[in-house]
Amino acid sequence: MVSVNLGVLHYVLDHIYCTILHRTKIGTPFFSKGWGDTNLELLERMVNQLFPNAACLAWPPAVIKPAWKTKWETNNACLKEGSFATPCEEELVHALPPESRTARVAFLVPKSVPAEKMACVVHLAGTGDHTFERRLKLGAPLLKQNIATMVLESPYYGNRRPIMQRGSKLLCVSDLLLLGKATIDESRSLLHWLEAEAGFSKTGICGLSMGGVHAAMVGALHPTPVATLPFLAPHSAVVPFCEGLYQHVTAWDALKEDASHPLAKCNGEVTLEQVKEKLRSVLSLTDVTRFPVPKDPNAVIFVAATDDGYIPKHSVLELQKAWPGSEVRWVTGGHVSSFFLHGDAFRKAIVDGLNRLSWRKSSP
């Protein structure tokens, strides 16, 4: 009986957190400026062209040349921050806001250990994670196991946030897809840099919530085995925005009234149900089950919460079913409480995922 009550408490906490953070009248809802017009058409075309050819994407990806600045160093570790031009194709770069066209990363690495004897994991941001600190805190204890941490600042977040955007509330539906596509491109180039330039013998990709969705996509597209570690992540953005708590903080009226969208050209008044169905159709482009199975699904570990108010269990299990051989681990808690209480479980998944990979042989 106690466990049931605790489960309800975690679930209710997620709803309270969403209400306080997103549903008050202080801030704007998601997509207050509508669909995004031509940017949405561009992204729908790009994603649709990706399938069924995702497994044949060109490799290596666009080369990046990060410019580094040391923030601090000790006898055992060093933290650098770097920046590089986003490696997205030109048409996509022009669609991004100017503030988002330069990627920023933080790189926490052990000292006095050759790269070929280390692993590095790229950490992607969840919704609302605008800084490096939370993910650096997650990765820092792994230094003792010779695991470095690379933290990518998402487009539309932190220093890359457009000047007109309030907090994490993306202005257009197209912004969500642009954020995801740019994150995938930047992450693929970062993994290539870590392997080909920095010389790491094992690499991984992880993320919490939205970052977990992107991590799953990047892991699926990588041409060689990589530890893929989605934490508290749905299989698609449809889940939080069309079925979960974010449907209560979406600007449905703005989407309905946006004259730039094809729905507005239909005869008769556009209904709310038509708008919701269109959003579901657009966000289905983010369905990770459409992506290829990662090269080594045994190195895929999902960590999910038992009483997650944002991500239902069926969404996690859909991913596991699509990727036979992958593992799901459950932590007791909700979406919000698990962020703060289960760092050890996330770190253990990182270590275990990397341990399931073979060390790459150094080039002669």
d(CA 125, CA 210): 7
**Between residues 55 and 300, which one has the greater pLDDT?**
300
What integer pLDDT is reported at residue 37 of this predicted model?
72
d(CA 79, CA 194): 15
Q: Structure tokens of 36?
A: 């995004």
pLDDT tens digits for 247-279? 889 999 999 988 666 666 666 688 999 999 999
What integer pLDDT is reported at residue 75 of this predicted model?
93
First to last CA, the chain: 61
Average pLDDT over every residue of 321-343: 92
β-strands 102-110, 147-152: how paired?
antiparallel
Peptide bond into 52 cis (omega under 30): yes
pLDDT band at 310 (very low <50, low <70, confident <90, very high): confident
d(CA 23, CA 29): 8
- Is the torsion defined by CA of 252, 254, 257, 259 positive or negative? negative
pLDDT band at 55 (very low <50, low <70, confident <90, very high): low
The 3 state secondary structure assigned to the chain is: CHHHHHHHHHHHHHHHHHHHHHCCCCCCCECCCCCCCHHHHHHHHHHHHHCCCHHHCCCCCCCCCCEEEEEEECCCEEEEEEEEECCCCHHHHHHCCHHHCEEEEEEEEECCCCHHHCEEEEEECCCCCCCCHHHHHHHHHHHHHCEEEEEECCCCCHHHCCCCCCCCCCCCHHHHHHHHHHHHHHHHHHHHHHHHHCCCCEEEEEEECHHHHHHHHHHHHCCCCCEEEEECCCCCCHHHHHHCHHHHHECHHHHHHCCCCHHHHCCCCCCHHHHHHHHHHHHHHHCHHHCCCCCCHHHEEEEEECCCCCCCHHHHHHHHHHCCCCEEEEECCCHHHHHHHCHHHHHHHHHHHHHCCCCCCCCC
pLDDT tens digits for 222-235? 999 999 999 999 99
Considering the chain, what is the average pLDDT of its residues? Answer: 88
For residue 51, pLDDT over 70 is answered with no
pLDDT tens digits for 170-219? 999 999 999 999 999 999 999 999 999 999 999 999 999 999 999 999 99
Backbone conformation region of residue 158, classed left if phi is above 0, alpha if psi is from -120 to 50, else beta: left
β-strands 227-231, 202-208: how paired?
parallel
For residue 289, pLDDT over 90 is answered with yes
d(CA 354, CA 121): 9
Average pLDDT over every residue of 312-323: 94
What integer pLDDT is reported at residue 127 of this predicted model?
87
Query: Cβ neighbours of residue 231 under 8 Å, at least 6 residues apart?
Result: 206, 207, 208, 209, 211, 212, 302, 303, 346, 349
Q: Structure tokens of 110?
A: 């052990």
d(CA 220, CA 60): 15
Q: Structure tokens of 95?
A: 């669609």
Closest Cα partner for 104 from 147, 67, 61? 67
